Structure 1
Amino acid sequence: MSATDSKSLRDPSRRKERRNRKKNTSRRNNPQAQMALKEHLREMRNRLIKSAIAAVIGAVAGFMVYNPFMQYITEPLQRLADSGRTATINYSSVGGSFNIMVEVALVLGVIFASPVWLYQLWAFITPALHKHERRYAMGFLAAAIPLFIGGCVLAITALPAAVYALTAFTPEGGANFVEANQYLRFFLQLILTFGVSCVIPVFLVGLNMLGLLSGRTILKSWRVVVVIVLVISAMAAPGPDPVTMLYLAIPLLVLFFVAVGLCLVLDRRRAKKAAKREAATGVTADSATSAEDLRKMG
């Protein structure tokens, strides 16, 4: 260290100036989010690290509930075996069961840690928002967390019925040797798909509030959305019984149309405010012109 640097460290005024400079560049004390690219990257890295730590802790909890979870999702196969049919989970390698355990624990960790990483996402975005927009963002966070978890739980409760329906096509005397990787991947992907699908309406409302997407634009695509939801629900609950498919589809469709309704209400409010501003601007302009005319007449 040079003599100049050593002197600056001993100087209280220089240390105070350095602390103030660091404080002014932090996101918390910078509501306009006027930060250098390096500061943005550092902030993003810190948020990602916190999210990763939460996911690791959630994965540890996933390891703890692995056995009850596996018992639940393999119960349909066990019922088939109890009825006299051959149905069992097949691990293709010596370490296959361990790999499955790790994969399940990681996915459960992401689900368990969803309040943390959703908050970190919100905390990274919110400094760029105005004060009233931050309140809305907190409302989005409060809605997104239970919706994501609720979507995952919805898929978990419906998946056993899907297994029953799929294995019902096995001919008499046939056997179901189910590959563990494919079986669990089907479960986990569908769980995450329904979790994310339940959060999408929240993001649609957010895009509408930012002025990027109007309610009428979203409403125009309702037929496409209905078809997509029904296809996903049919894939999750195949078979002749439509009850399980509707059990999955109806909550998603209700969330979508509620989001559309909110977007239309917000559009109407913005239109009224814009009309009031235009009217106020016109009155002010007329008043100014009248005053000017009076001065000329005088």
Structure 2
Amino acid sequence: MNKLLKKILKPLKSAFECESEAAYSEDITPHIEELIIRIRRSIFAFLISVLIVVFFPINWISCPLFGVYCSPNDVGNIVGAEYLKELLRWLGYIPAMVALLRVVTVAIDRMGITPIICNAEGLMNAYVVIIIWGALILSLPYIVYQMLCYIWPALEKHERRMIRNGILSTVGLFLLGEVFAITIVVPFGLQLVVIFGQVAGAEVRWCLSDVINFVIFTSLVTGLSFLLPIVVYYLVLLGILRPEQLKGRNLRIAFLVIMFIAAVITPGGTGVSMLAIGIPMFVLYYLAIIMAEKAMRERESQANA
């Protein structure tokens, strides 16, 4: 029994191994081979995540823990749900992708939007988007882990500390951007489209796949835009930029650039929506300059001590 268990766990153990003999080789060939192995592991992790999102019976967890998605009737009013319920009854369980789509449609419905299927492949496109993003989110920690394992032996102690802090702050700011997008930017953008449609005397109808793409794209871009302070902070910390270069007249230029970026990525493109995302970005940008300046002073004082 123990031998069988070891055989089963051996591939899993090797998949999480971080140390490698190639890391200490002076020849470039072992490094390339190790990189290929880690990329292959990352792709494999993504494919496994796709299978989990598509086939994992989410009701095994959600029903006993939260009392939701216990039966096919819980998928709610997704367009085409009657056919979907029959399929789920035949399967005998609720796949994770169905629950994820239901979560998205409930969130959209709370914004006052009722999506419809505009064409034959509309529902399929919505599921494909849900599957890809669900699998990417599920596999991303492992992919980042593999990339860190590849570069970790080449880093100095202070560089490792910098990366640890950078990962934590990057995740925190990205999640802050996601929350900001879902609670403010996306609802505001959708309502703007409705208002413009009413002014034009047109009825606004939302395709399910289009709404999902809009929500995902807007939240992703907003989350990435909130990472601007991280970029600025490390550019200053690495000595590529100086805090003095980012202040004064250049600060005003940075404000205009940030507002331009906000105008490009903000749905609706109006002045109000631009300010709604541009001002928080500029505040974070300025805080990054202050924090980087403080870190530079501490480093210089330690060097002079």
Q: What TM-score does the superposition give when structure 1 sets the normalisation length?
A: 0.65
User: Given residue 261 of structure 1, which amino acid in structure 2 is its aligned partner?
Assistant: I
Query: 1:26 corresponds to which letter in structure 2?
Result: A
**Distance in 1 (alpha carbons) for counterparts of 2:38 and 2:151:** 11
User: 1:38 aligns to what?
Assistant: 29
The alpha-carbon distance between structure 1 residues 71 and 116, as it changes in their structure 2 partners (threshold 3 A), is: same
Q: Check if 1:139 corresponds to 2:165.
A: yes
Q: What residue number does 1:161 align with?
A: 188
Deviates more, 1:159-168 or 1:260-269: 260-269
**In 2, Cα distance between the equivalents of 1:112 and 1:207?**
30
Are 1:115 and 2:145 counterparts?
no
Q: 1:210 Cα deviation (Å)?
A: 3.0
Q: Is the 8 A contact 1:122 1:137 kept in 2?
A: no
How far apart are the structure 2 equivalents of 1:111 and 1:65? 12
Counterpart in 1 of 2:174?
148
2:143 and 2:44 mapped to 1: Cα distance? 10
Amino acid at match of 2:22: S
Following superposition, which runs of at least 4 residues in structure 1 exceed 6 angstroms of deviation? none
Are the structure 2 counterparts of residues 123 and 200 from structure 1 closer, same or farther at C-alpha, using a change threshold of 3 Å? farther
TM-score (norm 2): 0.64
Cα distance, 1:261 vs structure 2: 1.4
Distance 1:67 1:57 in 2: 22
Give the equivalent residue in structure 2 for 1:7.
none
User: 1:225 & 1:100 partners in 2: Cα distance?
Assistant: 38
Q: Does 1:91 align with 2:118?
A: yes
Does the 8 Å CA contact 2:218/2:267 hold for their aligned counterparts? no
Shift of 1:56: 4.2
- 1:276-287 matched pairs, under 5 angstroms: 276=304
Give the one of 220, 225, 247 matched to 1:192: 220
Matched, 1:128 2:154: yes
CA distance in 1 between counterparts of 2:194 and 2:212 reads 15
Q: Deviations over 1:89-146 (max 9, x none)?
A: 3423x22211221113212333344433333333333322211221121111122122
Q: Deviations over 1:238-294 (max 9, x none)?
A: 48794x6555344422321222112222333444456x38xxxxxxxxxxxxxxxxx
| 2:40 counterpart of 1:49 | yes
8 Å CA contact 1:58, 1:113 repeated in 2: yes
The code of the aligned residue for 2:40 comes to I
1:26 aligns with 2:29: no
- Is this contact kept in 1: 2:104–2:212, CA < 8 A? no
Q: Structure 1 residue 51: deviation in Å?
A: 3.4
Cα RMSD over matched residues?
3.3
* Count of aligned pairs between the two proteins: 239
Q: Does 1:268 align with 2:259?
A: no
Secondary structure at 1:169's aligned position in 2? helix
Equivalent AA in structure 1 for residue 151 of structure 2: I
C-alpha distance in 2, partners of 1:190/1:71? 18
Distance 1:236 1:121, change over 3 A: same
Query: Unmatched 5+ residue regions in structure 1?
Result: 1-22, 82-87, 278-298
Is the CA contact (8 Å cut-off) linking 1:122 and 1:141 kept in structure 2? Answer: no
The gaps in structure 2 that reach 5 residues or longer are: 1-18, 54-95
Return closer, same or farther for 1:221/1:212 CA change in 2, 3 Å cut-off. Answer: same
From 286, 295, 301, the counterpart of 1:257: 286
Instruction: Determine if contact 1:215/1:264 at 8 Å carries over to the other structure.
Output: yes
The percentage of aligned residue pairs carrying the same residue is 24
SS in structure 1 at match of 2:204: strand
Q: 1:44 to 1:195 in 2, by over 3 A?
A: farther
Cα 1:180/1:66, change in 2 over 3 Å? closer
Give the match for residue 74 of structure 2.
none
Q: How does 1:158-237 map to 2 (within 5 A)?
A: 158=184, 159-171=186-198, 174-219=202-247, 221-234=250-263, 236=266
